[in-house]
Amino acid sequence: MELLSLLVLAIITPQSKSDSSYGSVMKLRDDLLANYSHTLRPLKNQSEAIDVELLLLVDGVTEVNDISQTVTLNFVLKVNWTDEFLQWDKDEYGIEFINLPNSDKWTPRLMVLNSIHKRAIFSDDQHPYMISYNGQINWTPASVFTFYCQLDMTYFPFDSQTCTIFIMAIDYSMQQLNIYFEEGPRFTSKQENGEWDVIDLELQETPQKDLTERPEHKVLLKLKRRSAFILLNVYLPVIVLSFLNLAVFVVPAESGEKLSYVLTVLLSLAVFISVVSGMLPTTSTNIPIITIYLSLQLLISTVSVLLTVYVIRIHHRSADKPIPSHLQFLTRIMKKKANNKVDLGSSDDRIKNWNIVALSVDKLCLYIFTTIVLSSCCALLFIIAKDEY
């Protein structure tokens, strides 16, 4: 009984006309391309402009090269237009959709003007598309493009960048080709980048009054750097080294390690400067704050080395040499805080007095350099917080 019901249902149900054979597809293709030219715009009235709708889908940011100032994107561009010469009666052929090679049909030539390696978008024939019986063409090419973007590294690594993608149709003017975005570009988040976040994608209109100009559109890509890695591996060690640099004025001169200690800190800062400079572009347009901060700490460390040498010379100075008046005044000022009056003119205790002078110079340098280091760190944190919020 079940088998009989299925047979009756098969008899009374009409066969779908979209079930086409290989021969019907071949016949439709030959009929469509019989008098077709892929070099002419697919319009019967060539005085009109053909409308081409675009939709940009960014799958992910592949790479942002800070040195060469380039951005590599993986994106898909959905392109739709109507081809008046690729239309047929779906009831006659039993076909609603067909695919043709790109070389056999007309396609708009689009370019990314600020691309580095290649400018023509989707120049090969491997991108999928679909032609409907009413002439509606849905073309969905995808590609990876590297384009130039001038990066502002002032607040590195807490920087946000805005890059512009220039898309232009080069073969036709606005009188012949009307390219428009029905909706703004979208980020699909299919590929997460470990260093950058895509904050926004927006379309910027470019007013063009002259219809003889080529149609052009600008897409703004807004990126924000993920700064956790740089913060932990660059900023934090540099701040720690800047405070370690102050400890040299606490190390006793008689220990014999005072000079080696301050030189070690100086070399460590020099290494970090070379590491950071390798991450940044060789440009003087925007100097990063981290570079200014590192240069300041390197200068402080260099001055600390010179002062350490001076303190060691004072500490080991011969007792026969008299103490200059300015050093006597400095020592009295430093000792007043401890309410300890010292007679620096006594000839019986010259060597001890030179030691006291060396300690006084160390104490003064400790106060001055602590103020400078704390001020620079607070200024750095203030600038970062201001930029973040």
Domain borders along the chain are 15-226, 229-388
Report the DSSP beta bridge partners of residue 139: 79, 129
Q: Using CA atoms, how far apart are residues 289 and 155, in angstroms rounded to an integer? A: 6
Confidence check: pLDDT of 14 > 70: no
Q: Phi, psi (5° rounding) for residue 177?
A: -140, 125
Amino acid identity at 158? F
DSSP 8-state class, residue 115: B
Mean per-residue pLDDT, 268-280: 82
Mean per-residue pLDDT, 298-306: 90
Exposed e or buried b per residue across 156-177, where buried means at least 16 C-beta atoms within 10 angstroms of its C-beta: bbbbebebebbbbbeebebebb
Q: What angle do CA 73, 78, 84 make, to 5 degrees?
A: 150
Q: List, for residues 55-92, the tens digit of each pLDDT value.
A: 888 888 888 988 888 999 888 888 899 999 989 988 88
The superfamily (CATH) of domain 15-226 is Neurotransmitter-gated ion-channel ligand-binding domain (2.70.170.10)
Confidence check: pLDDT of 323 > 70: yes
Assign 168 a pLDDT band (cuts: 50, 70, 90).
confident
Distances (CA, A) of 225 to 13, 66, 192, 236, 292: 61, 11, 13, 17, 20
pLDDT at 277: 78
Assign 352 a pLDDT band (cuts: 50, 70, 90).
low
Mean per-residue pLDDT, 226-252: 85
Q: List, for residues 233-242, the tens digit of each pLDDT value.
A: 888 888 888 8
Mean per-residue pLDDT, 376-387: 78
Confidence check: pLDDT of 379 > 80: yes
Mean per-residue pLDDT, 166-182: 85
pLDDT at 141: 80
For residue 78, the SS3 value is strand
Confidence check: pLDDT of 13 > 60: no
Q: Using CA atoms, how far apart are residues 153 and 218, in angstroms rounded to an integer? A: 23
Q: What percent of the chain has pLDDT over 90?
A: 9
243 contacts: CB under 8 Å, gap ≥ 6: 373
Confidence check: pLDDT of 132 > 80: yes
Confidence check: pLDDT of 37 > 70: yes
Mean per-residue pLDDT, 227-235: 83
Computed over every residue of the chain, the mean pLDDT equals 79
